[in-house]
Structure 1
Amino acid sequence: METLVRDIKLGIKLLLKEPTFSATVLLTLAVCIGANVAIFSVIQKVLLEPLPFHEPDRLVTVFNSYPGAGAPRASNGTVDFFQRRAHVDAFEEVALYQGSGSTVGEAGGTERVSTLRVTPSFFPLLGVQAALGRTFTEDEMEEGNDLKAVLTDAYWREAFGADPGVVGKELRVDGRSREVVGVLSSDFVVPGQADTRFFLPIAFDEGDRQLDSWHSNNFSMMARLSPGATIDQAMAQNDALNDALIDQWPLPNARQLLEDVGYNVRIVSAQEDLVRDAKPVLFMLWGGVALVLLIGCVNIANLMLARAQTRVGVVATRLALGAPRARVARQVLTEAVVMGVLGGVLGVALGALGLKLLMSLGAADLPRGTEIGINGTVILFTAALAVGAGVLFGSIPMVQIMRGDLAPVFRSEGRSGTAGRGAVVLRNGLVVGQVAVAFVLLIGAGLMLMSFRSALSVDPGFDADGVMTGLVSLPSARYPDGDARRRFWDELVTEVRALPGVENASVTAQLPFTGNLSSSVVFPEGYTPAPGESLLSPMENIVGPGYLETMGIELLAGRTFEEPDGPDASRVIIVDEWLAKRYWPDGSPVGARMIYGAVPGMDSIPEDSYFTVIGVVRTIKQNDLTAAASEHFGAYYFSYRQRVPGSQAIVVRTAGDPAAVTPALRDVVRRLDEESPLYATQTMASRIDDSLAGRKIPLMLLGVFAAVALFLAAVGIYGALAYSVTQRRREIGIRMAMGSAPGDIFRNVVGQGVRVMGIGLVVGAAAAWYLARLVRSLLFGIGVADPRVLVGVAVVLGAVGLLACVVPARRATRVDPVSALSG
């Protein structure tokens, strides 16, 4: 231990004696380790740390799947909840939950907040108890007993000033008073629902338990596996349960219908399900930042090799005086580790700044994003990374010292005036590695850039420019029937259209690119599925007259909705182009009737299930510009004047800046109903932009990593050639004395750099071809071997590398033969 302490002190002393070298190394390490700290902080919390609940490995997510109908991941119904809770022994507990929003407060002072509706089993399933009061009881999921609320700690502090007597007080939610029965602890956060302010119980009526409502899906489901049970066992028991329920389901051809749509129940780990979308992107970024650290370590190793040359006299003297070779080598390694540790300390500071940047770019929106921070695990990771980096770049000169013959490595200037061949090969090999790693990162950034450009070029099927949107929700307590809701929407649209600068306005229940989508089975009158043919569950929307015109959705046939399409008129429907071609490939659907809320083969279909097709519109992108055509199963539209929802988005096309109309929109809504605020206002164009955030942020980060790698590769090429020129000074002097022109010397030095770069490009291309396949799923509209990216990266890297060769090459042409030969 005493020897180690002495080595550390000596290492620090040597670093202080060479401030330029030390600053270069520490800055390189701080940037590279800092980037790793920032990314790992996200990885550790989002991907690696178990969910913060009791025995999280037993928590699973359950969902229904109908792949043949275009719904591979559907939600669950109330029948699923009661049946699985009662008959699946592999489940210790089952809970439903549904994210929603609620309007809180009195008239004139309301706000819209995020809430979560849950069954009383939700909290025991997670192993969560109230810090004050209690959570929900089983009888509170019965209608009439459900006017209760459980607050999060944050909302308790915000809305009630952390009042310890809050239990029993009232909270006005959606126009009705609810009793506060409990407050949760401050460390409780629902992953993926971090903005939840309070919880409300889901209330069921008798019909929710009846098998007639099976496959009416509106809820997410979580379950806790029984001790010793596995996901496979739970799947098998659910399959057996479904098989029994099919025979009891009062629907003709039920088994055939469900088999044709591929119905099954999927059960996955709650942890894996939570991060399923973020995982590939985060691992890609982790790999990218690891490559940045690798190229930084290679750069430092090259610097240390060059530095070792200047200290060869000291090393040789110590060895000649009898110092053990291992002792000298250990000192070199200790010095490198000291640099690594100091770089790690600086890296944590830079990493904290980088993490703040990541959070502002959208990391906070990731699952468990609000929990991300630099914690003890991140510090331990950083310590291991710093020591590992020091060992990595310190091991190369250490191994050279341990070799039997030091002369080929540490010779200053021999008769030939060049360094030993082993040292030259090693340094060139390190530069090859830098170029190869830079090539890989540039290829990754290039592919992501081209993929992003491809996504931007996708036509959503409507004109988003100049369109402002906002949401309004009407509480059922004050709008109990369709007539009341219809009057509100009619008045809202009329008043908004009268605002200055407004060209058109309407409303919609399912605004594109909000994630708020629903689908239901619909089919033409007289349609009989062929054997094995699946029913379709297209996207369903409810819109107002003028919606299609306001959004700029092209009408291809027939007409759009009009004011006379009201509750007493014939029921009408508009279908998109995809659905029209699917069911009427050789003709027009206009005038035909479609059936909604039933399935083929039913003995009796109610008359209000029939809708006459009045128009065909262009197919639009609903939620994802990059969604493949195979993922779209059609869409259809109803008029809100015939099917009246309680919540809709107002859509306004303006002549100028769409955001400028927002204050006037708020005033209109407030004037019509003081308790129903306009919320989530945003231009349609920005909603589309937000949908691409999952591609934009990785692109930006990968671009930064690639730029750092490109810079370090250029520095590596420059450093290696500059050092080579210094070592070859005598040789260059001899060449010039024998008649070599400066141009010959210039080409010789540049050629040396180009050869190294060429090898690096070949190695990098091979590595990039292999690694690019790992990110294939993240690409859109571009192949992993796109020639534009390959050629572009090769040109950029080659040009930067060539520029890095020019300075040392020009220095070589200015060598004075006389001083070189006499020095």
Structure 2
Amino acid sequence: MRLCKRMLEDLEQDLRDHLEMETQDNIDRGMSPQEARSAALRKFGNVARVKEETRAVWSVVWLEQLLQDVRYGARMLLRSPGLTVAVVLALALGIGMNAAVFTFVNALLLRPPQGVATTNKLVEVFLHDPKGSGVQSYLPFNYPDYAYYRDHSKSLEGLMAFDGDGQEAIWNQAGTGEIVHGQLVSGNLFSLAGVNAVVGRTLSVDDDRINNPRQVAVLSYPFWRQKLGGDPGIVGKTLMLDGAEFSVVGVAPAGFTGLMVGAAPDFWAPLTTQGRFTHEDQNRLTNRHSYWLIVAGKMRRSGDRKSVQAELQVLAKQVYVAQKSADDFQDARVYPLTLVPGPFRGYVGAFTGGLLAVFVIVLLIACTNAASLLLARATGRTREMATRSALGAGRGRLMRQMLVESLMLAGIAGTAGMAIAWTTARLLLELKPADIPITLAIPMDWRVVLFTVAVSLATGVLFGLAPALRASAVEAARVLKEESQSGDRKKARIRNALVVVQMAMCVVLLAGAALCVRSLINANAIDAGFDTHHIALARLDPGNLKYTPEKVNEFYARLLERVERLPGVISASYAEFLPLGTSRSEMSAGKQLGKDPSAIRVGVYRVEPGFFRTMGISLLRGRDLTQKEADSDKPDAVVINETLARSLWPGKNPVGEKIALGGEKEMSQVVGVVKNGKYRSLGEGPLPVVFRGTIPAARTLVVRTAGDSRTLLGEVSREVPIVDPLMVATGVQTIEEYMALPLFPARTVGWLLGVSGILAVVMTTIGLFGVIAYMVSQRTHEIGVRMALGARRVDVLKMVMSQGLRMTAIGLGIGLCAAFGAARLLSPLLYGIGANDPATMTSVAIGLGAIALTACYLPARKAMSVDPSVALRYE
């Protein structure tokens, strides 16, 4: 400030010296002192303008003016606390919801794998079917192909691989078991990724050699700290995992969770130990049809993706020639290494982009709302702007003042939006069903902060530009001559247009929300074919402990006996997996062995006796499976559903008929027919399904209770270690919790659109109310004159209401047209309702019309009570 004052004093002195010199020159030419002074001033020009222009180029003065604008803006915002709070709240919600969605975009698509060095040199490779299309044409690697590419690639420093699905293992300690999660990786993964151990060492290539007698593991940092107390002498100690001893060789650094999104392993083990964990697929290391490995590589310093792609294409042809099989040719595709595998990034981007589009609409509604309110306030500040203009303030100076106030509002809203984003992101994570094994980190890092700042700045300029342009275009002479301020029709048209835009966008969001809510209601009411109440579930796998088939059967028999004796239990049974889950099995079914042109693909569920009664699946004909039929290695009895019965034996009773399944050499007999159900998704049509015995070691325990199934969960979990102390039940949940997975898409989209629709309605209502209320305040004098001349209260009501309802009608018309087009994007997520359902669209229009009617009526009612004698004195 002192520097600025000194500079101004120096400027004043320079100007005085210049004028005195020019005046003296004029006197020397023979002019009188008065004439000389006037001539000098005429030659020099407007002194005040020179001062202003000189000050404008001084950065320090510009900064001083900016600080003055900020202080003045703060005072103006405090003078209108109601308007300030309304604008900040609306903008904070819009900015916060967009920032919340961006946290997921950042976590899924932008953040590199944590703790990994030189990520710009890492690529991932997928097998690809050139004849296919979409994501279905991409496959992970089988182990033999991975080994060939690894050993023959020259453009890469090395090729690493890991199991994308991860492994669930039982950690046995002190005679008890605990479920832990691991990931199988190649021995070179840590070295190629540049990940160093904080304790001990990481895996090596020697650790990953086939038939290596020494089984080793690297622990994750959280597991080491939380489960093992950060034991500094952990290296060399053993962990009992699935009944096998693994020697700990090191601990990974904090923050490193692998190379794939959603993974948070407790340990990493070599690929060649997979037989210790995947007991049902012991031949993965030699099976060319077992695609389970995500493959990544590190390019050489001089290499690039184009050269890597060219070399891998050559290797793909070599593999195809070497196989000499009838399988289709598969080439290799190279992508940058990211947390989301390359082929899936487009789908993730489309989904998150759709969410961003929804909340961008909410933000635009908030911006139009803020612009309407600020335009109204700008009209009230016309005399202030005229006065400042008359005193020498240029148009740019006035615009800057208004934009500074807008940016201050946006800055406050952005700060609040960060808190809203943090809370909303975690609420969205809660929508994820508990049985989806994904751990997603959504930090509010610099990318999220930068995005929020950018959105806040853009928002401040967007909603502040119109008020700034209107306020800076004031005609000082005309305004200062007027005794009172009157409404500007051009400004009114802008405000009205903004309300129409708000209403149209609100219709689009509310229509989508209404469709999704109705769809969710329909989805909850869909008959899944089984009871969705009073059932408890638990996942068990004694095969992880390498038990013999006899011991597995003994364990399940003893557990079933104990569970059935629990209070309130009606029945219990086992199934390999349940309908509407993530697992599925299929085979062909026909009426004759060998090649059968009439054979169809059917879903296969392996179940124990009592499964139908426990799940509440109606047995329409025949009987249930017997225990002998279920335990047989070659089951000769099956139960089918109605769709399969109609497909193979239309119009006949299929009980007693023979059916050929898959490539089996013997026919099976149909002993029962059950009611149709939903098996893959709630929106599917009727599918053919067969139920049979021969359940593998991994099973789901199904328990029906007469009371609340939640009270049974703890008792079932306690029974498992009583039967076998080394066993642990996983996925312990009620049937209602299990149904969260098939309902997840409808619930997520319904929740998001529902919230956005509510926000849009609130903002639009406030905007409409504000415009009509301001119009009434500006036309108070006119209303008083009308009433003094004999206008009735109902005439005033019609005059005010007509303006609001006209804007509403235009907005509804535009919005409905847009909603009919946008609703088609929701078709895949809707159950039992069309995307352009007339009843829903009509309800939205009527509902918004009623809300708008209320928003218009309240200011109109105030206008009806205007006292003409007071209004005629109104200024």
The question of a shared fold, defined as TM-score above 0.5 by the shorter chain, is answered with: yes
Q: Secondary structure at the match of 1:55?
A: helix
Counterpart CA distance in 2 for 1:232 and 1:8 is: 56
Which residue of structure 2 aligns with residue 198 of structure 1? 267
Alignment pair present for 1:482 and 2:549 = yes
Counterpart CA distance in 1 for 2:510 and 2:309 is: 43
Which residue of structure 1 aligns with residue 294 of structure 2? 221
* C-alpha contact (below 8 Å) 2:516/2:830 kept by paired residues: yes
Which residue of structure 2 aligns with residue 395 of structure 1? 465
Distance 1:636 1:345, change over 3 A: same
Which residue of structure 2 aligns with residue 547 of structure 1? 611
* C-alpha contact (below 8 Å) 1:408/1:422 kept by paired residues: no
Alignment pair present for 1:59 and 2:124 = yes
Which residue of structure 1 aligns with residue 50 of structure 2? none
Superposition map of 1:187-336 within 5 A = 187-190=255-258, 191-203=260-272, 208=283, 213-215=287-289, 217=290, 219-224=292-297, 227-229=303-305, 240=317, 243-244=320-321, 247-248=324-325, 255=326, 270-273=340-343, 278-336=348-406
Q: What displacement does 1:334 show?
A: 1.8
Distance 1:352 1:47, change over 3 A: same
Which residue of structure 1 aligns with residue 534 of structure 2? 466
| 1:445 corresponds to which of 508, 513, 532 | 513
Q: What displacement does 1:521 show?
A: 5.9
| Counterpart amino acid of residue 549 in structure 2 | G
Counterpart CA distance in 2 for 1:142 and 1:192 is: 28
Residue by residue over 1:3-23, the C-alpha shift from the partner in whole angstroms, topping out at 9 and shown as x without a partner, is 323322322232233333333
Q: Secondary structure at the match of 2:235?
A: coil
Which residue of structure 2 aligns with residue 506 of structure 1? 573
Q: What displacement does 1:556 show?
A: 4.6
Q: Secondary structure at the match of 1:468?
A: strand
Counterpart CA distance in 1 for 2:639 and 2:369 is: 63
* C-alpha contact (below 8 Å) 2:217/2:267 kept by paired residues: yes
Q: What displacement does 1:822 show?
A: 3.5
Bigger relative contact order, structure 1 or 2, given CA contacts below 8 A and separation 6+?
Answer: 1
| Counterpart amino acid of residue 330 in structure 1 | R
| Counterpart amino acid of residue 36 in structure 1 | N
* C-alpha contact (below 8 Å) 1:412/1:419 kept by paired residues: no
Counterpart CA distance in 1 for 2:774 and 2:637 is: 80
Which residue of structure 1 aligns with residue 691 of structure 2? 637
Residue by residue over 1:71-103, the C-alpha shift from the partner in whole angstroms, topping out at 9 and shown as x without a partner, is 978776544544555678898625251423111
Q: Secondary structure at the match of 1:691?
A: coil
Q: What displacement does 1:170 show?
A: 0.5
Residue by residue over 1:100-119, the C-alpha shift from the partner in whole angstroms, topping out at 9 and shown as x without a partner, is 31111236432112222344
Q: What displacement does 1:707 show?
A: 1.2
Alignment pair present for 1:384 and 2:434 = no
Distance 1:466 1:364, change over 3 A: closer
| 1:768 corresponds to which of 816, 819, 823 | 819
* C-alpha contact (below 8 Å) 2:128/2:137 kept by paired residues: no
CA RMSD of aligned residues (A): 3.7
Counterpart CA distance in 2 for 1:36 and 1:9 is: 30
Alignment pair present for 1:626 and 2:683 = yes
Counterpart CA distance in 1 for 2:826 and 2:749 is: 12
Counterpart CA distance in 2 for 1:555 and 1:265 is: 49
Counterpart CA distance in 1 for 2:479 and 2:693 is: 82
Q: Secondary structure at the match of 2:859?
A: helix
* C-alpha contact (below 8 Å) 2:382/2:471 kept by paired residues: no
Which residue of structure 1 aligns with residue 68 of structure 2? 6
Which residue of structure 2 aligns with residue 371 of structure 1? 441
| 1:165 corresponds to which of 230, 233, 239 | 233
Q: Secondary structure at the match of 1:768?
A: helix
Which residue of structure 2 aligns with residue 177 of structure 1? 245
Alignment pair present for 1:779 and 2:833 = no
Q: Secondary structure at the match of 2:440?
A: helix
| Counterpart amino acid of residue 698 in structure 1 | V
% same residue: 30
Which residue of structure 2 aligns with residue 601 of structure 1? none
Q: Secondary structure at the match of 2:699?
A: strand
Q: What displacement does 1:568 show?
A: 7.2
Distance 1:616 1:809, change over 3 A: same
Alignment pair present for 1:41 and 2:103 = yes
Counterpart CA distance in 2 for 1:625 and 1:318 is: 66
What is the number of equivalent residue pairs in this alignment? Answer: 788
Q: What displacement does 1:623 show?
A: 4.5
Which residue of structure 2 aligns with residue 252 of structure 1? none
Counterpart CA distance in 2 for 1:17 and 1:797 is: 33
Counterpart CA distance in 2 for 1:611 and 1:96 is: 40
Distance 1:795 1:367, change over 3 A: farther
Residue by residue over 1:197-238, the C-alpha shift from the partner in whole angstroms, topping out at 9 and shown as x without a partner, is 112334378994897x443x3624334486544697689668
Counterpart CA distance in 1 for 2:74 and 2:477 is: 27
Q: Secondary structure at the match of 2:222?
A: helix
* C-alpha contact (below 8 Å) 2:161/2:185 kept by paired residues: yes
Q: What displacement does 1:723 show?
A: 1.1
Distance 1:558 1:364, change over 3 A: closer
Counterpart CA distance in 1 for 2:131 and 2:588 is: 11
Alignment pair present for 1:801 and 2:852 = yes
Distance 1:63 1:164, change over 3 A: farther
Greater CA drift, 193-202 or 263-272: 263-272
Alignment pair present for 1:154 and 2:222 = yes
Distance 1:96 1:379, change over 3 A: closer
Greater CA drift, 735-744 or 45-54: 45-54
Greater CA drift, 5-14 or 293-302: 5-14
Residue by residue over 1:543-566, the C-alpha shift from the partner in whole angstroms, topping out at 9 and shown as x without a partner, is 212222222233355443202224
Distance 1:619 1:79, change over 3 A: farther
Q: Secondary structure at the match of 2:740?
A: helix
Which residue of structure 2 aligns with residue 564 of structure 1? 628
Counterpart CA distance in 2 for 1:589 and 1:124 is: 61
**Higher Cα Rg, which structure:** 2
Distance 1:432 1:209, change over 3 A: closer
* C-alpha contact (below 8 Å) 1:590/1:616 kept by paired residues: no
TM-score (norm 2): 0.81
Counterpart CA distance in 1 for 2:146 and 2:106 is: 33
Alignment pair present for 1:115 and 2:182 = yes
| Counterpart amino acid of residue 622 in structure 1 | Y
* C-alpha contact (below 8 Å) 1:407/1:420 kept by paired residues: no
Greater CA drift, 781-790 or 767-776: 767-776
Counterpart CA distance in 2 for 1:313 and 1:240 is: 80
Greater CA drift, 798-807 or 369-378: 369-378
* C-alpha contact (below 8 Å) 1:94/1:122 kept by paired residues: yes
Gaps of 5+ in 2: 1-61, 276-280
Distance 1:135 1:173, change over 3 A: same
* C-alpha contact (below 8 Å) 2:69/2:404 kept by paired residues: yes
Counterpart CA distance in 2 for 1:411 and 1:349 is: 48
* C-alpha contact (below 8 Å) 1:146/1:201 kept by paired residues: no
Residue by residue over 1:42-80, the C-alpha shift from the partner in whole angstroms, topping out at 9 and shown as x without a partner, is 222223334445238722455889999x99787765445
Counterpart CA distance in 2 for 1:195 and 1:756 is: 53
Greater CA drift, 726-735 or 368-377: 368-377
Q: Secondary structure at the match of 1:142?
A: coil
Distance 1:698 1:27, change over 3 A: same
| 1:354 corresponds to which of 400, 424, 428 | 424
